[in-house]
Amino acid sequence: MIKPHGSDSLNPRLVSANRAQQLRAEAESLPSLLLNSAAAANAVMLGAGYFNPLTGYMNLADALSVATTLHTEDGLFWPVPVLNLVQDIAPIQGASRIALRDPNIEGNPVMAVMDIEAIETVTDEQIASMAEEIFGTVDADHPGVATFTNLGRYVVSGAIEVLSLSYFQADFPDTFRTALEIRDEIAERGWQKVVAFQTRNPMHRAHEELCHMAMQRLDADGVVVHMLLGKLKPGDIPASVRDNCIRKMVDLYFPENSVMVTGYGFDMLYAGPREAILHAVFRQNMGATHLIVGRDHAGVGDYYGAFDAQTIFDDRVPADALEIEIFKADHTAFSKKLGRVVMMNEAEDHVKEDFILLSGTKVRQMLGEGIAPPSEFSRPEVAQILMDYYRAQNG
């Protein structure tokens, strides 16, 4: 099986049940820090092994180095700073060991215990510089920039031991999986060549066909549909609804035992090209050999070029940095001429009118009005789940 990033074996920071019990007892006497959602999401990814080989939150020097060079100061390839940015350090001033509390569960239980390496002040200029590198913009209307620039001006760094993966295991017991659990299932299935498909949306016909194409062209053993279960932006479809849509599509339109439907606990960054590389890192950690990177992968609005998330792998990722390979995909759509879904750049003698193309806004409008999108765009069974959701939303 493909090796994890940066080490020979996976080193998830989630501790055993016995160790967790010890740490909870210890945490009662430790100073506490209530994490923000971004830092909590990083703790979940560290705990679940997706951020291997990192052992905790980066210090300021590593964060600045990663933002600028895509490497930590000691040379580890990494695309996005993994930070614990804090507004108020008064509760932990002078402490060397602290309890990190979960902002997403009532009562704010302890989710990790941290050995503090440093508490550093980050300037507005340094935050802006990192935002420009990570997101390609400092526009406050960009949802990722808006979040990142308002998390705080203190960097609290150090290794963590993770006791809890927040609400994800309880809320998504059939879907949430750690990187180690996915590796184990890939091994059990005997899969060697494994394609990962990232999604924060329900899967329509074009996404479905993209997975079929990748499997066929790569002669892959299976696809891991890996959906984001953390925070999105307002208006995005909730994870539970997306989960139902994807499972219905897989049950009806994929061969048996060819797809694993899984999810991970992270907040969407909307960082486009940089986030595409991060996606590749943690898909390698979960055992995938290939990642589908399509048009405007992890993008938002018009901040990124259609294929910037593909070209960054050629322009900024050293040849030996990652073992996972990228399956580069064009925009896919149903061809009226050919009667099937195709990659648009492979459809000769086609003009725009030969494809069925619907914007996300148009699809949401149709679903909200109880109108099913064309079957060439969305499977009717999937459309029904979405129509039921929008109908409930609209009262």
The set of catalytic residues is: 200-201
- Cα distance between residue 161 and residue 113, in whole Å: 5
Strands 332-335 and 355-356: antiparallel
- Cα distance between residue 335 and residue 315, in whole Å: 32
User: What is residue 5's DSSP assignment?
Assistant: T
Residue with tokens 């055992």: 287
Residue with tokens 């997706």: 50
Cβ(356)–Cβ(336) below 8 Å:
yes
Cβ(42)–Cβ(231) below 8 Å:
no
- Cα distance between residue 289 and residue 241, in whole Å: 28
- Cα distance between residue 171 and residue 165, in whole Å: 11
- The residues near 79 (Cβ < 8 Å, ≥ 6 apart) are 66, 70, 274, 275, 277, 278, 281
- Cα distance between residue 118 and residue 4, in whole Å: 28
Angle at 271 between CA 9 and CA 214, to 5 degrees: 60
**In a 3-state reduction of DSSP, which class is residue 224?**
strand
Half-sphere exposure of 250 (CA within 13 A, CB side): 21
- Cα distance between residue 289 and residue 2, in whole Å: 6
Cβ(279)–Cβ(298) below 8 Å:
yes
